[in-house]
Amino acid sequence: MYNNEKKSYYEKKTLVTINSSDRIKKNKIITEINKEKVVKNGFKIIDNETILVSHNHNYEITNSTEVIFRNIEGNYNSNLNKYAIGGIPIEYLNYNEETGRPIFNVEFIYNNVDNKIVSNSYKIKIPININKNLLILNTEGGGSNIIVEKINKFVRGYEDSSFYKIILPYRFKNISNVKLVSLEMENAQYSIRDSVSKKYNNKNDYIKDNNLIHWINKENETKVTYLCFIFFIYPMY
């Protein structure tokens, strides 16, 4: 900015307080509920890798459509000791808010009728950690209240307080430099330097240890009352 009195330029400085506790901690998805539900028992296991979903979805036919499912019901499977559909536990199909999974990429099945694309079903992949020996092919199930939500946006979450992004209060322009003015932290040595163990984030996105920041707890500080020091020099052999 130009100063007419001093005939010189000066910089405008803005302090921004950043609190890591305000970061988005969990992955979050923005979805749109499909008004049309999956037909009753519209899940069918057609091979060891694939489930056919009968659903009048009205989605645009693309290769990048991702969906989640809710309210899938199953029958009790004594081998798994869980409710399942043909050997697939329903917990591997229903979306879990805590873990942010599972999310399915769909492969549309469609026909061209009178120069118009018509599709009322699609395929999804069976989760890879399913025991394929327990699958029962051609099993149909899922109940009558399966809800489908299309993913419109994915918002990354940051579990670790030393690695995250924040939203600034407003847009900054013509930035010349950024400085860290002050830093406050709790006694967090172990949470920073311990090995990374994350629920859903990629642990490779985190530094293995932090050897750049050092601190001393206030109760452990040493006060010097005299401006003199005594040094002991030990001979080396």
pLDDT digits (tens, 9 = 90+) for 112-154: 877 788 899 999 999 888 888 899 999 999 999 999 999 999 8
58: CB partners within 8 A, 6+ apart:
34, 36
Alpha-carbon distance of 40 to 143, in angstroms, equals: 6
SS3 category, 77: strand
Residue 62 maps to a domain:
yes
* pLDDT score recorded for residue 212: 60
Residue 22 maps to a domain:
no
Cβ atoms of 67 and 148 within 8 Å: the answer is yes
Banded model confidence at residue 19, pLDDT cuts 50, 70, 90: confident
**Mean pLDDT throughout 1-28?**
73
State which residues form the domain around 38.
28-155
User: pTM here?
Assistant: 0.67
* pLDDT score recorded for residue 210: 58
Residue 76 maps to a domain:
yes
Strands ordered across the beta sheet of 116-125: 107-113, 116-125, 50-54, 43-45, 140-141
Residue 194 maps to a domain:
no
Output the DSSP codes for 202-219: -GGGS-S---S-----GG
Cβ atoms of 178 and 55 within 8 Å: the answer is no
Residue with tokens 């989640």: 68
Alpha-carbon distance of 215 to 223, in angstroms, equals: 15
Residue 41 maps to a domain:
yes
Q: How many domains does the chain have?
A: 1
Residue 207 maps to a domain:
no
Residue 220 maps to a domain:
no
101-124: burial string, b at 16+ Cβ within 10 Å, e else: ebebebebeeeeeeeeeebbbbbb
Tokens of residue 142, six digits: 């899922």
Alpha-carbon distance of 48 to 133, in angstroms, equals: 9
Terminal alpha carbon distance of the chain: 63
pLDDT score of 161 more than 90:
no
Cβ atoms of 149 and 67 within 8 Å: the answer is yes
Banded model confidence at residue 14, pLDDT cuts 50, 70, 90: confident
Residue 176 maps to a domain:
no
pLDDT score of 50 more than 90:
yes
pLDDT score of 207 more than 60:
no
* pLDDT score recorded for residue 152: 95
